[in-house]
Amino acid sequence: MQFVQDARRALTIGYTAWAFYALAVVTLAPDVIYLAFGWDTNPFVWSVLQIVVIAGGIVGRVIQQTEEGAWRRRIWIFAAVLLFAFWAVPSLAMSVWPQPSEPVVEDSSGPPTYEETSAILTPHVSQWEGRRLTAYFDLVGVATICDGHTRTVTAADVHAGTTFSAAKCDALLSEELHEYWSETRKGFSPDTIATRLTPHRDAAYSSLSYNVGWGGVRKSTATRRLNAGDIAGGCEALTWWNKAGGRVVRGLVNRRNVEFDMCMLGVG
């Protein structure tokens, strides 16, 4: 292995090297923010930041980095970063903190019962999870069976070709959906439960909870916005949960879009 001449200088002042450092920060930032504060930020903002950083690295690769005019170039680069920050930072802030929403038509008939929500939730989850009576590994390698059930199935069951009956899958789905619905509601404020939940909106949040876990949903931007009265903003934040194994999955994008439409029913 042979390094370039003056490798230390290339790693400390090279534009492309700094673009790599910035790209690493932008890539890790949403996960660090989520782990540190429990905030699920808008992936669109981070994707745009990544594209800008990559473009900057490409431009930096073809700029002659001589000592002459170095400060002038740095001033131009700093100015460009500042201009971009004026656009990116407000967008990022809007993705984290609840924003006022347009007037909405809230449901005054009281909170939906589980039976009302279940009539929408059960077929929705069953459709998107897909029922498989034989154990299998999901997209991220978790042993699964029936309609996304993971609790009582193991890798050994997958390898053994374990199967459940349709009746057993029905029972598991009914039991788990009720549990996830109940746990998800613990994250809602009394006002949200009393006036902001329709059966469809209730089902949208419960479906997300069944898909990603109620812990994440209860402290998510989607729930915080809904509790703050920003129903449309909460519905939008549901669509951000579209990744599996760290990558965007088209099926999850489609599912979240359907849940967004469910959530927005009744919003004026």
Q: How many degrees, rounded to 5, is the angle at CA 148 between CA 175 and CA 113?
A: 35
Please give, one letter per residue, the 3-state secondary structure of 1-68: CCCCCCHHHHHHHCHHHHHHHHHHHHHHHHHHHHHHHCCCCCHHHHHHHHHHHHHHHHHHHHCCCCCC
88, 170, 175 from 142: Cα distances, Å: 36, 20, 20
Residue 222: CB atoms within 10 A of its CB come to: 28
Locus of tokens 């690493």: 24
Checking DSSP bridges between strand 243-244 and strand 143-146, what pairing results, if any? Answer: unpaired
Amino acid at 14: G
Residues designated as active site: 129, 138
